[in-house]
Copies of this chain bind each other. A is one copy, B any other.
């Protein structure tokens, strides 16, 4: 999937089945499309989100790991213990343009934390980086996409997903799909 220099996982906080199913699925799909190796989902254990994401992997290729019902604290502590860095995306953090170069250059594996509703204070404390994608309220889905887009400097447009059953041929009009 291109010259990746680090492993990237996304940690989705506080998932609630009723409220968050679609948003968390979007977070997972963005993680995969923009080059993360997997996603940990903390909060309620939602087999449906896991199944939806795994179905996309089956059809569209690549490898992408999905783990549900994790403890956020445990994941963060393990990641830290293995020498990875914790990047928390939050509207309160330092602007992406001020920090992305340093984050890109660091060769550490990256755990990218995105919240649902209220994020507990200890996340801000434990994070190596609290990064804002503008200081306006918007969407964890958008924040994650822009962060990864900048981390890769747009290389996500060149990613190849192995063993895909479906591939799209980009076109000016209509839909061109290759099936194998």
- List residues of chain A with CB under 8 Å of any chain B CB: 19-20, 22-23, 26, 29-30, 32-34, 56, 60, 91-97, 121, 124-125, 127, 130, 132-139, 141-146, 149, 154, 156-157, 159, 161, 167-168, 170-177
- The minimal Cβ–Cβ distance linking A142 to chain B, given in whole angstroms, is 3
Q: Is the CB of B171 within 8 A of A94?
A: yes
Q: A149-B146, A176-B92 are in contact. Are A136 and B161 (CB under 8 A)?
A: yes
Q: Is the CB of A135 within 8 A of B26?
A: no
Please, which residue of chain B has its CB at the minimum distance from the CB of A93? B170
What residues on B are CB-neighbors of A145 within 8 Å? 133, 138-139, 141-143, 145-146
Q: Is the CB of A174 within 8 A of B136?
A: no
Q: A32-B136, A33-B134, A33-B136 are in contact. Are A26 and B174 (CB under 8 A)?
A: no
What residues on B are CB-neighbors of A149 within 8 Å? 146, 149
Q: A142-B144, A168-B91 are in contact. Are A124 and B175 (CB under 8 A)?
A: yes
What residues on B are CB-neighbors of A157 within 8 Å? 95-97, 134
State in angstroms the CA–CA spacing of A173 and B29 once bound together. 28
Q: Is the CB of A26 within 8 A of B29?
A: no
Q: Is the CB of A60 within 8 A of B92?
A: no
Q: Is the CB of B26 within 8 A of A142?
A: yes
Interface centre among A94, A132, A156, A168 (most CB of B within 10 A): A168
What residues on B are CB-neighbors of A22 within 8 Å? 19-20, 22-23
